[in-house]
Amino acid sequence: MDSRSTPARLTETATVKLSRPFLLLITAIYILAGLFFRDPWKTDDVVGLATMVSALSDPSGQALLAPQIGVLAHAQDGPLVTWVGAFSIWLFGPLFDFFVPAHDGAIIASRLPNLLWFGILVSSVWYGSYLLGRRPEPQPLELPFGGEPSVNDYGRMIADAALLLILATVGIVWRMHETSEVPALIAFQALAFFAIARSIDRPLSGAVILGLALGAAFLTRGWIGALPIMLASVFAFHPHGALWPRRAWLLLSAVIALAIGLAWWIPVSKVAPFWTQHWVLWNSQSFGLPQPDVLLSLLRDLPWFLWPTWPFALLALWRWRSWLSSPHIWVPLMFTAWPLIIMLFLADVFEPEYALMAVPSAVLAAFALPTLRRAVVNSLDWFAVMCFSLTAATVWLGWFALHTGVPEQIHHNITRLTRGYDIHVSWPSVLIALVGTLAWVALVRWRLHNKPAALWRGTVLSAGGLITTWLLLVTLWMPVLDYVRSYRQVSGELAAALQQHTVPSDCVRALGVGVGQRASFLVFNDIRFSYDSNCRLILQQTTQKAVREGSVGFSDSAQVLWQGRRPADRDEMFRLLQVKR
């Protein structure tokens, strides 16, 4: 390899060390902001929590092996997130119950595993990128009179940039705060990426970690989540790459992953055959021939989800096109390509599938930075400053309009979407938002005043800007978001109606009630539905239009004991009916 022809050109000053306390601070703010002190929202967020609550309340233990929402079989994904979340609720829930109302302790405890998933993500991305960045292939051009960065400094700069670009990825910021399978799946993909990078110099530890990551990914989201990671891991070993001599170690990884999968599959297939049949059906029916609407959705949504990393990832492939077989390009390319290929053969594609492209896109984007000219980097810095300053100002403007009525049109648009919301100010939240805004102003001032030469300066601005915007949203707008997206209020009303109209022997069956709504009623008020057709009470989910027109079922043959809805929802309606046995 002729290092003089490398597209990476930078000096030692461009790889100056980023402050470790600052890096730890922004990662902590990223994950802690919006993680606690909010309601679970439909659908994935509250469904994940409901499977954890159901597992703890099932004396037979079947709901641990086969995740359920009450008595409804949630036969998709896998049980790992349910296991970890249920354990966290069991261990920490009673402690939180001393300080918060009933059921809220379980909500807080269920989100503690997100700290684990996030820790695996950031550490795997950093160390994996560091290992690849230290290899000889990506090293920058040797300068005639010296002054190029050392191998360790260059690798650390690449790792810092990759980590900051993950924090700056728009599409995963909310998903990393869910009690769903998505944060865990992203974490295990990052762990598999690190394992592949580790396998180059330490094949035994790399193979063991890779087997654990693949098995955990399978237990997290079944074949939809595990297959892209498995294929990427296999194809990372190609005949002309540095990993090829280590290919025999893939057998050890396969054995470990297979053992993990069978350790769950064998007992669950015996204990819950109905559940496993539907799990196989769900996984198999999720795949099919490519459809035009899937391709259109990818072209429409994926660029926004992966912003701002995907343009730099494509640029990295172009600039390093002569080094495609080198591990620093080939490994993240495989982890990018296979999720994209698999998505083309899925019947339903959305953010959980998009999420598998976030980590490799960030790594590729990090390797594009050393190939950029200084003028281009400065332009990108200015774009980040303007873009995120505008988003932060927009969040503040909307909040100001909501509480003061000025500008009138913005106030009208917001109140129309939050009909019935009791407008109030949470001053502690406003104070945190002000501190976050001032921190963003200080970061921008640092960029303008000091004019740093470090190549990670643009990624700091992008990550800092997104974190600032997210912090403003989860402080200033959290009460509004809870009002719009939470079922706490309607669940409480339903629980009161059931207490008034039922006796201990009564059961309630659901009619047309969605999975997210079932999960919400279970989480907030422990309302469980039966499949017994003899139940005299029915909770019906319908629309307000159908109720007005009298076209909804049981319009004439049942007594309406209660009806309710979320005030912000213009269409959804719930009715508690009493029918004759």
The closest alpha carbon to 230, from 78, 356, 346, belongs to 356
pLDDT, one tens digit per residue, over 472-488 is 999 999 999 999 889 99
pLDDT, one tens digit per residue, over 190-224 is 999 999 999 999 999 999 999 999 999 999 999 99
3-state per-residue secondary structure call for 496-533 = HHHHHHCCCCCCEEEECCCHHHHHHHHHHHCCCCECCC
Over 60: is that where the pLDDT of 1 sits? no
Averaged pLDDT, 235-249: 94
Q: How far are the Cα atoms of 14, 382, 469, 476 from residue 465, in angstroms, in the given order?
A: 21, 12, 6, 16
DSSP state of 287: B
> What is the Rg, in whole angstroms, of the alpha carbon atoms belonging to the chain?
26
Tokens of 217: 């990914």
The closest alpha carbon to 387, from 450, 305, 481, 468, belongs to 468
Over 90: is that where the pLDDT of 580 sits? no
Q: What's the pLDDT score for residue 445?
A: 93
Over 80: is that where the pLDDT of 505 sits? no
Rounded Cα distance between 86 and 376, Å, is 49
Strand pairing class (537-543; 68-69):
unpaired
Q: What's the pLDDT score for residue 501?
A: 84
Q: What's the pLDDT score for residue 3?
A: 45
pTM for this prediction = 0.95
Q: How far are the Cα atoms of 36, 128, 187, 395 from residue 359, in angstroms, in the given order?
A: 25, 11, 9, 28
Contact 518, 70 (CB under 8 A): yes
SS3 149: coil
pLDDT, one tens digit per residue, over 429-466 is 999 999 999 999 999 999 888 888 888 888 999 999 99
pLDDT, one tens digit per residue, over 527-562 is 999 998 888 899 999 998 888 888 887 777 788 999
CB atoms within 10 A of CB 262: 11
